[in-house]
Structure formats: structure tokens, C-alpha cells
Structure 1
Amino acid sequence: MSPKCERCDGPLVPVEYGMPVDDTPYRRHERREIYYTGGCMGPPAPWWCWSCERFADPEPRPSPSMTVEGYQLSLLNDIRGVSPSLPELPAPYDDPPEALAEEAAAWKTPDLLKIKDMAVILGEPVNGGPSRHRFALPLWPDFWLEHTSMGTGLWVEPESTEMLVGGYVVDKRFVRRSGEPMRSADDMRPWSVLRTEAEAFFGWEPTRTPNAYYHIVPFELDGRPMEACFVHDLLVHVSEASEA
């Protein structure tokens, strides 16, 4: 059931990629009326009110039933989408029960993308700066998962200068928490090396897209052509490169 607008008590429509999911009312307006009066395309607020023509961000938002295990499985599902050949996973991730699989899917919804919501489930983050927040996850004890956040840019009232700071997650990557960086090529094992560490060790040219979701990097090891797959900057798979 969708939440209600705090201003007019009307139903709110989910927002994806800055636009309301249901665009039927949108087609009844001149395009610029929505763009300039309502603000589409807009900030990463999770809801839109067609009656008020504004973005909305009702509270409370986090689900108390979410768990660390559900979030970790969601991450693994993300990684599997890029690199199906993952290391053997511990239970319950090797064959997750239906409830955990459903919970992992729920982490994809727009109402669970705020730093403060994640802190309810994952514990208070370690701040690496005003917009970077690091969480410790049991599956990766040597690394923090660092989330970059931003405000909503959402005005409380049209005539107000007060802004609702949302802390929405816009990016994430692994950063080293403990342990040693690469010391030899034998360290190129899944879950053990960061992309930046491999770049420094092998002398790879730094990527031109450091904020990309994943990187597949060709390299040579003992004269053999290889490929390394990094997701959120963490090595998840190494294989011999296929011949063209």
C-alpha cells in the first residue's frame, strides 16, 4: 500500500530515475509545467504526488524486519549479475531460504536507499567524510563497504529556503579496513584485492571510469592473458582470457 501525501493526503506514486512510475497523469500536462512547477526530472526522492505536483519523502521509511544477511545477499546478487562465477559462498547464501531471498529483493526498492535507514539495520557507519559512510559487513571482514550519499535537494515549501537533506545513497565501493594490500601475484584471489591495489602492483594504467559499477581488466600473468573482474572495486573473479 502506497503512503499518503502529508500535504493533501492523496496517494503517492513511486519514483524511478527521477520520474513517477505511472506517467498517465503526466500526459495530461504540458511537459514544461511538470518540469518547472513540479521539478521533474528531480532529486532522488522515492515518491511523487500528482495532486501537489511535488516530490515527497514520508517518514518513517526503514523496515525493522530487514537484516544484515538480507543486505549481503542483495550485494551478492548484484555481483552475480556481472560475474556469475563467484567463489563458493557460506550458508545461507549458497542456497538462501525463500524469506531471505525476498528480503534481499526488498533492498532494491527506493524506500531503502538512505544512509540513516541502512544504519538502523547495519549499525552506525564510520564516516569517511561529509558524504561518505563506511559499514562493516561480516562476509568481508577486511573491507568497509563505503557508500557515497547526497541530499535530496527537496524544498519543504515552494516559498521556503529550508531544504530536506536526505542522505541518499548514490554510489558504493569497497575500501580496505584491515590486512595487507597485494604483495605478490598469488594474492589475486576473490574477496582479497581492491582494484586500486591491483593497479599499483601490476602497474596498470588507472581506469578512466573510476566510478563505474564494475571493471573487467585484461592483464598478463606468467605470460598468459588473463581477465580480472572487479565489482564495487573488489576482485570477485579471475580467469584466463578467451580467445577472440
Structure 2
Amino acid sequence: MNPRCERCDGSLVPVEYGMPVNDEPYRRHERREIYFTGGCMGGPEPWWCWSCEKFADPEPRPPRTLTKEGYQLSLLDDMRGVAPEAPLAPPAPYDDPPAHLLEEAGRWRTLQSQKIKDLAAILGDPVSGGPSRHRFALPLWPDFWLEHTTMDTEIAGYVFNRRFVRRSGEPMRSPDELRPWSVLLPEAQAFFGWEETRMPNAYYHVVPFQLEGRRMEAVFVHHLLQHVAESSEG
């Protein structure tokens, strides 16, 4: 059963490549019943409502039975999937998650086109970090906000990027403070004089650098340091 439109409660159909899943809009356009260009606001692609004849949001959105704990575990899994060599072991119960939490983390990962209002219903109201930036506090990272950036489109609120930003504490003041979950990419760039990355919106960065004559590399996921080690190259 397809989800329902939140504007008119009509049935929604999926959108693929900027178009509803069948060619009915073209046929109705040819009959001059509607004017439809087929242009989408861009990914993530929304749904199409036949009653409103507009791109639309489904309602209800993700089930409210999801929890902040499951979201944190899904984020941890994402980080460890990108940087499996990271040595930091998460606290209980994330070091050996129970089956129900693993299942929920999997449900979080399968959700597509997340919206800020969906996240807020489960994570709590966000704090504004500026235009189209929404910051959530997560217990696993008390010194940082997880900031979500949204698209400014006709159907607003879709999350397309997330990164950690500092909430409390001080940026690094010595190389000894270059520890996992303690330093942000912009802070390390400022301290070491690293060049700005050419892909600031990428969620994974490996930065080579030198420390006391040794070739090193630092791994950042969502701008948060995950791993520091001597480089295997050169």
C-alpha cells in the first residue's frame, strides 16, 4: 500500500529519475489536462500526488517507534564501515548491541530521504546552526552537535549532508590532543595549517600530514576524527 499525501490524504506514487513511475503525466500533458515539465527539484527524489498534481511528502513518515539509541548505533556503524581500523571502542550497549538495537539500526539505515521533522520527532527539537542547518545533541558525543544540512526546495527539509560541529570544550592546542572523537577536521586544519579540502561536503576524509618527521594520516568521518596512524605509503 502506497503512503498518503499529507496535503490531501491522496495516494502517492514513487518518483524515479524525476518522473512518476508510469507515463500518465505525459499522456495527460498531451491531452492538455495538465502542464507537466517532468522536472524534479533534485535528489533525494520525493513522491508524486495525483490529486494535488505536485511532488509531495508521504505521511506518516518513519515509525515513531524508532529511538535515539538506534540512530546512534546506525551512525556508529556508518563510521566503522568507512574507517574499520578506528581503535576507539564505544561504550555499552554499543560495544555488544542487543538484537533489538541491531534491528533498529538496520531500519534507520534503510530509511531514504530523511527529513528534519522526522528526525526531530525522535531526536528532539534541533538547535539552529544557521540557514538550513539543524543541530542535534547526541549522548555519545557530548562535546559536539550533529549538524544536518537540508535542501531549500519546494518540498523543503530533506537532509543531504551531516557533520559534527563543536558544542563545548576547546579546539586542539597540541598534537597530543589528536585523539579519536576529540578533534574536528576544521580544527586540525587550523592547527596544522592543512589546506582546505576540495570536497568540503564529503563525509569521509583521509588527510596525510607529517608529525615530528613521521608520515601520518588522519581519518575523519562526518568531520569527526576517527583514526590517526603512521602512513603506509612512503
- TM-score exceeds 0.5: yes
The secondary structure found in structure 2 opposite 1:105 is: helix
Give the alignment's TM-score, normalised by structure 1.
0.80
Residue of structure 1 equivalent to 2:112? 110
Would you say the 8 A contact 2:132–2:152 is kept in 1?
no
Q: For residues 52 and 11 of structure 2, what CA distance do their matches in structure 1 show?
A: 9
The secondary structure found in structure 1 opposite 2:36 is: helix
Structure 1 vs Structure 2: percent identity of aligned residues?
A: 65
C-alpha displacement of 1:12: 2.6
- Deviations 1:55-83 (Å, cap 9, x if unpaired)? 32133324211111111111112112210
The secondary structure found in structure 2 opposite 1:219 is: strand
Q: For residues 100 and 51 of structure 1, what CA distance do their matches in structure 2 show?
A: 39
C-alpha displacement of 1:148: 1.0
Would you say the 8 A contact 2:67–2:123 is kept in 1?
yes
Q: Structure 2 unaligned segments of length 5 or more: list them.
A: none
Residue type at the aligned position of 1:39: G
Q: Which runs of 4+ in 1 moved over 3 A?
A: 4-11, 15-20, 26-30, 38-46, 48-54
Answering whether residue 193 of structure 2 is matched by residue 203 of structure 1, we say: yes
Give the alignment's TM-score, normalised by structure 2.
0.83
Aligned CA distance change for structure 1 residues 9 and 178 (closer, same or farther; 3 Å):
closer
Would you say the 8 A contact 1:135–1:145 is kept in 2?
yes
C-alpha displacement of 1:196: 0.8
Equivalenced residue count is: 225
C-alpha displacement of 1:10: 4.1
Bigger shift: residues 66-75 or 40-49 = 40-49
C-alpha displacement of 1:120: 1.3
Would you say the 8 A contact 1:4–1:12 is kept in 2?
no
- Deviations 1:12-40 (Å, cap 9, x if unpaired)? 33x577566xx5x359969x98xx82634
Q: For residues 78 and 225 of structure 1, what CA distance do their matches in structure 2 show?
A: 27
Aligned CA distance change for structure 1 residues 28 and 11 (closer, same or farther; 3 Å):
closer
Q: For residues 91 and 98 of structure 2, what CA distance do their matches in structure 1 show?
A: 13
Aligned CA distance change for structure 1 residues 28 and 47 (closer, same or farther; 3 Å):
closer
- Deviations 1:149-202 (Å, cap 9, x if unpaired)? 124424xxxxxxxxxxx3111211111111111111111100000011111111
Residue type at the aligned position of 2:38: G
Aligned CA distance change for structure 1 residues 147 and 19 (closer, same or farther; 3 Å):
farther
Aligned CA distance change for structure 1 residues 48 and 98 (closer, same or farther; 3 Å):
farther
C-alpha displacement of 1:98: 2.3
CA RMSD of aligned residues (A): 2.9
C-alpha displacement of 1:220: 1.1
Q: For residues 89 and 17 of structure 1, what CA distance do their matches in structure 2 show?
A: 39
Residue type at the aligned position of 1:196: P
Q: Structure 1 unaligned segments of length 5 or more: list them.
A: 155-165
The secondary structure found in structure 1 opposite 2:59 is: coil
